[in-house]
Structure 1
Amino acid sequence: MVPNLATLVADHLSLLSYRTQRGDRSGVRWSECPQVGGSPLLGTNQGFGDRTMAAASPHPREIIGVDVGGTKTHLALGYGESVTKERTVSTPTWRTHSLRDNAVALHRLISEWLGPEALRVPLVVGAHGCDSTEQCDDFAAALRKYFVGGVLVVNDAELLVPAAAQRDGIGLIAGTGSIAVARMDGGLVTAGGWGWVLGDEGGAAGLVREAARAVLGQLDSGEPADPLGRRLLTAFEATDGAQLAMAVTASASPAWLGEWAIEIFDAADEGSALAVEVIGEAARQLAALVDRLLHRGVAADQVVAGGSVLLGQRRLQDAFVAALRGHHPDVTVHLLDRAPVLGALALGDSLTAPKGS
C-alpha cells in the first residue's frame, strides 16, 4: 500500500518525537470543503496571547501553518478548521535561495507576528521550491534550530489534498508557477516545477512566456498583431517584437512577469485565436504533469487542483479538466475552493494527536 501524506506525518511523529500533547483526540480530522464563495478560513480573529497553550487545555493544541507560494506567503494560527489569527506577506520580501537564511527569516517573521512563545507551537510549512524529500527535510532541520514544538515541511502543492478534506491524491498547482506532486513509498514525487525559464507551463509566468513566443512567431510571419499581440505590446511598453522580446527576457522576477497573464485571457475573450491556443496548450501541459506521475506508478484516482491562475480562469479550468479526462477518464478532479494553508493545519492535527490514535 502506498503511504499517503497523513501516514508520512505519523511516521515523522514517531521518528522525531513530534507529539507534544497528551489527550483523547483522534488522528487527522478531515473536514468538508465549504462551498465556493464561502470564507476560506473559519474562526475568529482572537489574539494569540489570550489562548491557553498548556498541554492540559481541553482545547486542541494550536498549530502554525504556513503556505509559502511563489508570490505570497499565507500564515495561519489555529487547529483543524478553526483559525484564530492569520497574516499574508509577499514571499520575495523575506525568501532567498538559501534554506538557512529562509529559516532565519521565517523565524523572525513568526516571532514578530506572534511573539517568542510561538516558537513552542508545532509548525507545518508547505514551501514552494522544496521539490524533493531532501530539500523538505533540510529546510525542516534548519527550522528546528528555532522552533521546538515540532516541525514538518512539505511542498506547497502537498497542502492541497488535506485542505480539500482528502486523504490521498495528486496535488496540482498553477499559480505563479506550476507543479504536480504526490507521495510514493513515503517519498515526494514531483512533475514540473522547473521555474519559468525552463518550465512552469500553465503557471502565470509560463503563460506569459509562451504568449510572447506566440506573438513573436506571428510577427515573424509578417502577420499583423492580433488582440493578444496588441495587449502584450502595450503591457510591456514595446513598439515591436524586438522590444517585446527584450522586455520579457529582462523580467525582474516570475511574480512580476506573471502579473501580465490576465492579458492572455482578456485577449481570448476578445476573439484572439492565438490566445485561445496558448491557453489550450497550457491546459494540456498541466494535464501532462498529472499523467507523468501516474505513469511513474503513483496510485491516485483523484487530483486536487489549486493556484491563482487555474482557479481564477474558467477557460484554463475547463481545458485542463477536458485534457486530463481525455487520457484518464477515471480520475476525479477537485478544484480547491479554500485556502491551502488549511491543509497545513490539517496535517498539524497529526502533530498533536496522542500516540496510538
Structure 2
Amino acid sequence: MGPHLIAGVDIGGTKTRMMASRGGETLADRTLATDSWRIREVETDAAALAALVRSLCGGVDPAATVVGAHGCDTDDQCRAFQAGLARHLGGIVQVVNDSELMAPAAGRFGGIGVVVGTGSIAVARTPDGRMLAAGGWGWILGDEGSAPALVRDAARAVRGAIDRGTPDDPLTDALMRALGIDDPTMMGRLLNETRNGVVWGQYASAVFAAADAGSPLAIGVIEDGATALAALVGILIARGADARSVVAGGGVIAEQPRLVQAFRAAVAAVSPASDVVVLHDPPVLGALALAERAVHAADQTS
C-alpha cells in the first residue's frame, strides 16, 4: 500500500491553517480567516470545513483528517464537532483542542500543550484519554498571557498609575500611540466600544515595545501573564497530568522572547522537572503528525 493522503487543520481564534500531505511531502498549504467560515454552529461549521478540506485535497477525501480547534475545550465539544465533520467527510476524522497540536508538532506525544495567541489554554490527557483543560475562558474573563489579555491588563496598569498620580511610564505613551489617542482615559471607552479580542490583540506589540523601553508597568504585565500561564500548568499537574514536557506555541509566545523567558521561569517554579519547549514551527504540523499516526495504527490493525 502506498503512502496515504492526509490533512491537518489548525483552527485558531484568528486564522485557520490547513495542510495536505502524502508520504511526508506537502501537497497543499492554505491559510484563511477563521471568521470567514466558522460561525460556531456545529453542523454548519462541520459542513463548511469538510468542503474546505476536500478542496484542499483536490476534490477527494483524505485517508485521515485531524483538526485542532480553538474553542473545543471539552471532550463533549470535540466529539460533537468530530461527529459533525465525519458526517460530511470520509476517512478517519479526529478533533482535538488546538493546544493538543503543540506537542506532536514538536515531535512529542503526551505532556501538556499550552496555546498563547488570540486566547490561552493548557490541555493534557489522562492515560485513559480523558481531556484535562485549564484556562480558555475568553479574554474578558481570563486568557491570561494572550494578546488581548496583555492589552487588557496593560490598560488596567495604566489606569492604576493614573489613579495613583504616577502616569509617567513608557507603557502609557506606547498604548496611546498604538490606539491613536492622546488621552489615556480614552482606553477604557475604546475597550468597551470595541469588545473584540482579535482587534485588541493587535496592540499587544506595544506592550512588549514598552517593556523593551524599560517600562516597569509593561514588564510587570508580561511577568504576571507568564505566571498565570504557568499556574494553568500547575492546575493540570494537580489533576494528574503528565508534565514531563510542556510545549507552548501560538502567535504571541512564539514571537516574543520576553514572554518565553518569563514563562520558562514561572514553569520552573511550579514544576522544576518539566522540560519546557516553545514551538516555532506551525502547529498544523502537529495535526499532520496525528493524522499520520492514525492511518498507521489503522494499517496495523487491518
Q: Which residue of 1 aligns with 2:110?
A: 168
Match of 1:208 among 144, 151, 168: 151
| Cα distance change of structure 1 residues 174 and 242 upon mapping to structure 2, 3 Å threshold | same
The alignment status of 1:341 with 2:278, answered yes or no, reads no
Match status 1:352 vs 2:295: yes
Helix, strand or coil at the partner of 1:97? coil
Query: After the TM superposition, which segments of 4 or more aligned residues of structure 1 sit over 4 Å from their partners?
Result: none
- Alignment deviations for residues 147-176 of structure 1 (CA, whole Å, 9 cap, x no partner): 011210000110111111112110011111
Higher relative contact order (CA 8 A, sep 6+): 1
Deviations 1:293-340 (A, max 9, x none): 001111231101111111111111001101111221111101113111
Structure 1 range deviating more: 297-306 or 236-245: 236-245
In the TM superposition, residue 234 of structure 1 has moved relative to its aligned partner by: 2.4
Structure 1 window deviating more from structure 2 (74-83 vs 312-321): it is 74-83
Map of 1:43 onto structure 2: none
Is 1:273 the counterpart of 2:195? The answer is no
Aligned-pair distance for 1:350?
A: 2.6
Residue identity opposite 1:186 in structure 2:
G
CA RMSD of the aligned region, Å?
A: 1.6
Aligned match of 2:87 in 145, 149, 154?
Answer: 145
Structure 2 Cα separation of the partners of residues 280 and 268 of structure 1: 10
Query: Are residue 226 (structure 1) and residue 155 (structure 2) matched?
Result: no
Alpha carbons 1:182, 1:190 under 8 Å: kept: yes
Q: Which residue of 2 aligns with 1:93?
A: 36
TM-score by length of 1: 0.80
The one of 74, 82, 102 equivalent to 1:132 is: 74
Q: TM-score, normalised by structure 2?
A: 0.94
The answer on 1:307 being equivalent to 2:250 is yes
Distance between the aligned counterparts of 1:120 and 1:241, measured in 2? 52
Q: How does 1:3-42 map to 2 (within 5 A)?
A: none
Aligned partner of 1:249 in structure 2 is 192
Assess if the C-alpha contact under 8 Å between 2:19 and 2:56 holds in 1.
no
Given the alignment, which residue of 2, 13, 16 partners 1:73?
A: 16
The one-letter amino acid paired with 1:95 is: R
- Give the conservation status (yes or no) of the 8 Å contact 2:122–2:134: yes
Measured in 1, the distance between the counterparts of 2:24 and 2:113 equals 20
Q: What is the deviation of 1:252?
A: 5.0
In the other structure, the counterpart of 1:157 is 99
Rg larger in structure? 1
Q: Percentage identity across aligned positions?
A: 45
Secondary structure, counterpart of 1:165 in structure 2: coil
> Partner of 2:194: helix, strand, or coil?
coil
User: How far apart, CA to CA, are the structure 2 residues paired with 1:62 and 1:283?
Assistant: 39
User: 1:63 maps to what in 2?
Assistant: 6
Pick closer, same or farther for the CA change 1:292–1:79 going to 2, 3 Å: farther
- Structure 2 gap segments, 5+ residues each: none
CA contact (8 A) 2:112 2:242 kept: no
Greater shift after overlay, 245-254 or 259-268?
A: 245-254
How many pairs does the alignment contain? 299
Question: How far, CA to CA, are the matches of 1:206 and 1:271 in structure 2?
Answer: 20
Q: Does 1:122 align with 2:64?
A: yes
One-letter amino acid matched to 1:190: A
**Deviation, structure 1 residue 355:** 3.1
